[in-house]
């Protein structure tokens, strides 16, 4: 994997670039589409490609439990398994462990006080997880069987899954955890990062798979900066910025971290994807994002438009012959009326989820492309202002 | 609509032909894909087209209840509404009324003693339907509200939906009903056929929409023949052969009827689509079929292969890297392993239904095309024998 910065904005953080992977390039900033279980929910890979997605991110935890990494390895790794010939990412499973444990107990998901921007939260019994210095023991959400992830095991699984970009195994904490616990968890994450890196570098797979370290530190500036210094000094190919955020703190945290991380390596903001957060993240130096929000809310009928979100289940759309977003060029808006989408949702037809997911992903993927274009043309501030004023 | 017979088999019944509609031609024999509510379940219209489908059949009863025919008319009729630019059919709603009433009471669906070849059976409370000479009063499965279909109303709704080929309003009976009741219902269906035809011919829509009459008569040779004589003598553009069949009687019934119906008009066998029934129907003079079976069983993981059906939920497929059917050229078989499809079903991913539906529809649509080709080449008997021996 190689990363090139093509242009930097005058604010010193934001940049336009390109990530080269063995399966193709990613023009950054970019929104990476989530395919948790080796499928972008309700879409074929051709639909994912047609809507403009450059890369797909799958989930180590889910694929480990089902179908198991050996089947992926045998099939020819993630790309072959799911028939996606572009770049791929896998997260490390750390966040899912958080979701199963303290995240569930404290009812906090990816962003505090925003149920909408939740990452993939599994429905577990609480206390399914035990953390020690060596790793994490957890019970399967599928059958209750006991499993164990260590940093080495997470990387081994990710090698077998075979994504182009993989992540170090980390511990994600709740923003409501005590500072003492945040420090303890962060320091453990740093030790796990080094172990992930050491294991990775000792294997052949490190020649074709890139490993990103994950910065933690919660809402605390001193911890975020310390984590960025320590993780940033390690020989990772790029970085993830993880953790459960307080809604107001995302931009601050990202900026603190990116001022410290080495400039020449890509930075991925894990699990964040609201329009306002895309602008804030990019402005503060983020190159790639992933988030389940566009597809999750699509399946509930919530659809993005330039004038903000609509819910297609609203009765006003039953006989509305307009398109979801009159300015949208996606497959759904090009071919179907709001009345038809409304009918599909009311009839509980599966095509509803497909058409809605195509639209929402197109909206977000292409919003990031538009942001990129505005940066290339030196018009970022103006585009941000006009988009956000109209959307919110 | 025009119909041309291009070749007849020496048995005097089977024929190769072509139906020309305002939205394109149908090479017959043909399997018509079912899109009950204006969507082929889990598929986009591009996927439907790519798998080889020539035409789609939607359901008057369902579209009348939701979203209502006025919305289809406003959108630009069924083609525009669902974005399918090929030929379309709508059935008349008669079979759904049967499903709601006596069909449900007697636990009989499209084919007696074969739960698999069931047409679209709604989940109703029994006795939701009352039949009188003028028409049928029924309660909505959506909200319990009371509705009434008459032959004229069914045709009026079908005019607004705007399919290329529409059906007369009929009463479908259970094969277990008494012969007295079968006679009574058949005679009423004949009167309704004439009323459907009179209403249709009095409207402008009859210039662009073709109306097919429906032959009933249950399992009784004398009634089937009587119905074929009476319906066949009316000025319909084509014919449907309807009714709930006893499994063993399908071919017999179809043959009796087609020996009487005028040769120069197309004949559609309503709601039948098992491989053996396709051969039997075509051999006995059927030009088009529709059936929900391929997509319904696909959603449950039952998949066609040349060697018979498999269920992908079987644990032997979890790590099976072969394709569903090694001889199949469909999108699914070209791109995905049995292991991946198994994983999607086990993970309850929506793509499972999409990939399985594509495969099953491709299998059936292309089986009928192969049968057609075998007829063109004078090899029908041999193809039938080799296919059926291997499949069953």
Does the distance separating the beta carbons of A351 and B75 come in below 8 Å? no
- Of B62, B67, B346, which is closest to A66 when you measure between CB atoms? B346
Q: Is A260 on the interface with B (CB under 8 A)?
A: no
Of A302-306, B7-11, B280-284, B346-350, where does mean pLDDT reach its minimum? Answer: B7-11
pLDDT in the model for residue A102: 53
Assigned domain for A372 exists: no
Q: Is A312 on the interface with B (CB under 8 A)?
A: no
Q: Is B41 on the interface with A (CB under 8 A)?
A: yes
Assigned domain for A376 exists: no
- Of A41, A75, A351, which is closest to B39 when you measure between CB atoms? A351
DSSP string, B354-379: HHHHHHHHHHHHHHHHHHHHHHHTT-
A127 and A258 in a common domain: yes
Q: What token pair was written down for A215?
A: 């910065």
Separation of alpha carbons A51 and B44, rounded Å? 15
Does the distance separating the beta carbons of B349 and A350 come in below 8 Å? no
Using one digit for the tens of pLDDT, what is the confidence trace for B84-108? 999 999 999 887 877 766 555 444 4
- Of A39, A83, A336, which is closest to B335 when you measure between CB atoms? A83
A40 and A112 in a common domain: yes
CA A260, chain centre distance (Å): 22
Assigned domain for A184 exists: yes
Cis peptide before B67 (omega within 30 of 0): yes
SS3 B277: helix
pLDDT in the model for residue A176: 74
* Touching B: A residues 330-349, CB under 8 Å: 335-337, 339-340, 342-344, 346-347, 349
A334 and A284 in a common domain: no
Q: How far is A170 from chain B (nearest CA, A)?
A: 25
Assigned domain for A381 exists: no
Separation of alpha carbons A55 and A90, rounded Å? 11
Contact criterion met (CB below 8 Å) for A99 and A119 = yes
Of A2-6, A94-98, B214-218, where does mean pLDDT reach its minimum? Answer: A94-98
Separation of alpha carbons A320 and A324, rounded Å? 9
Separation of alpha carbons A130 and A137, rounded Å? 5
Assigned domain for B346 exists: no
pLDDT in the model for residue A118: 37
CA B62, chain centre distance (Å): 15
CA distances from A10 to A14, A256, A385, B65 (A): 8, 17, 17, 59
Separation of alpha carbons A17 and A173, rounded Å? 31
Residues of B that are catalytic: 91, 290
How many CA atoms are closer than 13 Å to the CA of A348, on its beta-carbon side?
1
Of A51-65, B97-111, B348-362, where does mean pLDDT reach its minimum? Answer: B97-111
Q: Which residues have C-beta within 8 Å of that of residue A73, sequence separation ≥ 6?
A: A160, A161, A162
Separation of alpha carbons B355 and B349, rounded Å? 11
pLDDT in the model for residue A114: 37
Closest by CA position to B357, among listed B40, B78, B26 = B40
pLDDT in the model for residue A122: 35
Separation of alpha carbons A284 and B173, rounded Å? 70
Q: How far is B238 from chain A (nearest CA, A)?
A: 30
Does the distance separating the beta carbons of B83 and A337 come in below 8 Å? no
Of A156-165, A250-259, A326-335, B28-37, where does mean pLDDT reach its minimum? Answer: A250-259
Q: For B316, which DSSP code?
A: G
Phi/psi of residue B283, each to 5°? -60, -30
Contact criterion met (CB below 8 Å) for A122 and A100 = yes
pLDDT in the model for residue B102: 53
Is residue B116 over pLDDT 70?
Answer: no
CA distances from B157 to B89, B169, B236 (A): 13, 11, 18
Is residue A124 over pLDDT 60?
Answer: no
Separation of alpha carbons B113 and A281, rounded Å? 62
pLDDT in the model for residue A116: 32
Of A237, A277, A287, A290, the catalytic one is: A290
Assigned domain for B311 exists: no
Separation of alpha carbons A86 and A78, rounded Å? 10
Is residue A105 over pLDDT 80?
Answer: no
Q: Which residues have C-beta within 8 Å of that of residue A225, sequence separation ≥ 6?
A: A217, A256, A257, A260
Mean pLDDT on A2-29: 96
pTM check: above 0.90: yes
Mean pLDDT on B42-49: 98
A223 and A334 in a common domain: no
Domain count, chain A: 2
Tell me the sheet residues that pair with A211. A166
* Touching A: B residues 100-119, CB under 8 Å: none
Using one digit for the tens of pLDDT, what is the confidence trace for A225-247? 999 999 999 999 999 998 766 67
Contact criterion met (CB below 8 Å) for A70 and A157 = no
For residues A160-183, one letter each, b for 16 or more C-beta atoms within 10 angstroms of the residue's C-beta and e for the rest, the string is bbbbbbbbbbbbbbbbebeeeebb
Q: H-type helices in chain B, by residue range?
A: 45-50, 60-65, 69-75, 77-82, 94-100, 102-105, 151-161, 179-201, 221-233, 250-258, 275-283, 293-299, 331-335, 338-346, 350-376, 380-391
Separation of alpha carbons A180 and B316, rounded Å? 50
Does the distance separating the beta carbons of B344 and A71 come in below 8 Å? no
DSSP strands (E only) in A29-161: 30-34, 56-59, 88-91, 111-112, 129-131, 136-139, 146-149
SS3 A251: helix
Separation of alpha carbons B97 and A92, rounded Å? 54
The helix, strand and coil proportions of chain B, stated in percent and rounded to the nearest 5, come to 45, 20, 40
Separation of alpha carbons B87 and B72, rounded Å? 16
A177 and A48 in a common domain: yes
Closest by CA position to B44, among listed A58, A57, A51, A300 = A51
Q: H-type helices in A312-376, by residue range?
A: 331-335, 338-346, 350-376
Write out the residue range of the structural domain in which residue B233 sits.
2-291
Q: Is B84 on the interface with A (CB under 8 A)?
A: no
Closest by CA position to A40, among listed A364, A370, A376 = A364
A216 and A142 in a common domain: yes
Q: Is A29 on the interface with B (CB under 8 A)?
A: no
- Of residues B114 and B194, the one with the higher pLDDT is B194
Other C-beta atoms lying within 10 Å of the C-beta of residue B352: 23
pLDDT band at B120 (very low <50, low <70, confident <90, very high): very low
Radius of gyration of the CA atoms of chain A, in A: 20
pLDDT in the model for residue A117: 32
Phi/psi of residue B344, each to 5°? -65, -40
Using CA of residue A189, residue A191, residue A196, residue A201, what is the dihedral sign?
positive
Is residue B243 over pLDDT 80?
Answer: no
pLDDT in the model for residue B104: 52
Other C-beta atoms lying within 10 Å of the C-beta of residue A262: 12
| Burial status of residue B235 (CB atoms within 10 A of its CB: 0-12, 13-18, 19 or more) | exposed
Using one digit for the tens of pLDDT, what is the confidence trace for A156-180? 999 999 999 999 999 988 777 789 9
Separation of alpha carbons A324 and A332, rounded Å? 8
Q: How far is A122 from chain B (nearest CA, A)?
A: 13
Q: What token pair was written down for B325?
A: 């059917």
Does the distance separating the beta carbons of A343 and B74 come in below 8 Å? no
A331 and A192 in a common domain: no
Scan for tokens 């009487």, then name that residue: B260
Radius of gyration of the CA atoms of chain B, in A: 20
Assigned domain for B174 exists: yes
Contacts of A321 in chain B (CB under 8 A): 74-75
A94 and A127 in a common domain: yes
Other C-beta atoms lying within 10 Å of the C-beta of residue A131: 17
pLDDT in the model for residue B315: 97
A318 and A285 in a common domain: no
How many CA atoms are closer than 13 Å to the CA of B384, on its beta-carbon side?
14
pLDDT in the model for residue B218: 85
Mean pLDDT on B26-54: 98
Contacts of B67 in chain A (CB under 8 A): 318-319, 339, 342-343, 346
* Domain containing residue B237: CATH number: 3.20.20.105
SS3 A56: strand
Does the distance separating the beta carbons of A41 and B340 come in below 8 Å? no
Q: Which residues have C-beta within 8 Å of that of residue B306, sequence separation ≥ 6?
A: B325, B327, B387, B390, B391
Mean pLDDT on B34-55: 98
Assigned domain for A76 exists: yes
Annotation marks residue A246 as catalytic: no
Contacts of B340 in chain A (CB under 8 A): 38, 75, 81-83
A199 and A79 in a common domain: yes
A265 and A195 in a common domain: yes
Annotation marks residue A91 as catalytic: yes
For residues B200-214, one letter each, b for 16 or more C-beta atoms within 10 angstroms of the residue's C-beta and e for the rest, the string is beeeebbeebbbbbb
Q: What token pair was written down for B291?
A: 């059936």
pLDDT band at A103 (very low <50, low <70, confident <90, very high): low
Closest by CA position to B42, among listed A344, A334, A38 = A344
Share of chain A above pLDDT 70, in %: 92
The overall average pLDDT reported for chain A is 91
Separation of alpha carbons A87 and A210, rounded Å? 11
Of A84-98, A221-235, B148-162, where does mean pLDDT reach its minimum? Answer: A84-98
- Of B81, B321, B351, which is closest to A39 when you measure between CB atoms? B351
pLDDT band at B276 (very low <50, low <70, confident <90, very high): very high
Nearest CA in chain A to B318: A67
Contact criterion met (CB below 8 Å) for B244 and B108 = yes
Separation of alpha carbons A6 and B249, rounded Å? 73
Q: Is B38 on the interface with A (CB under 8 A)?
A: yes
């Amino acid at each position: 994997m190689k990363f090139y910065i093509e242009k930097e904005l005058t604010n010193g953080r934001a940049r336009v670039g390109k990530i080269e992977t063995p399966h193709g390039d990613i023009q950054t900033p970019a929104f990476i589409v989530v395919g948790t279980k080796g499928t972008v929910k309700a879409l074929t890979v051709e639909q994912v490609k047609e809507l403009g997605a450059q890369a797909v991110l799958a989930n180590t935890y889910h694929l480990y439990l089902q179908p198991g990494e050996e089947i992926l390895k045998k099939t020819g790794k993630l790309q072959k398994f799911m028939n996606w010939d572009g770049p791929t990412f896998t997260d490390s499973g750390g966040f899912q462990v958080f979701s199963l444990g303290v995240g569930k107990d404290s009812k906090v998901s990816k962003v505090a006080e925003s149920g909408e921007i939740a990452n993939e939260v599994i429905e577990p019994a609480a206390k399914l997880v035990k953390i020690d210095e060596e790793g994490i023991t957890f019970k399967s959400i599928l059958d209750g069987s006991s499993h164990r992830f260590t940093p080495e095991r997470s990387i081994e699984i990710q090698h077998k899954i075979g994504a182009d970009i993989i992540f170090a195994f980390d511990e994600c904490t709740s923003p409501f955890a005590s500072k003492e616990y945040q420090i303890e968890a962060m320091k453990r994450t740093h030790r796990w990062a080094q172990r992930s890196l050491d294991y990775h570098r000792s294997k052949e797979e490190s020649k074709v798979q890139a490993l990103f370290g994950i910065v933690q530190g919660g809402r605390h500036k001193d911890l975020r900066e310390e984590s960025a210094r320590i993780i940033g000094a390690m020989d990772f190919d790029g970085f993830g910025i993880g953790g459960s955020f307080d809604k107001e703190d995302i931009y601050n945290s990202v900026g603190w971290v990116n001022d410290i991380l080495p400039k020449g390596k890509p930075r991925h903001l894990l699990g964040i994807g609201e329009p306002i957060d895309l602008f804030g993240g990019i402005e503060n130096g983020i190159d790639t994002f992933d988030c389940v929000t566009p597809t999750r809310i699509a399946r509930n009928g919530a659809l993005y438009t330039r004038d903000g979100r609509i819910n297609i289940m609203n009765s006003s759309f039953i006989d509305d012959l307009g398109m979801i977003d009159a300015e949208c060029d996606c497959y759904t808006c090009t071919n179907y009326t709001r009345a038809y989408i409304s009918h599909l949702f009311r009839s509980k037809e599966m095509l509803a989820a497909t058409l809605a997911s195509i639209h929402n992903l197109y909206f977000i993927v292409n919003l990031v492309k538009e942001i990129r274009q505005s940066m290339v043309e030196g018009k970022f501030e103006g585009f941000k202002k006009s988009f956000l004023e109209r959307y919110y």
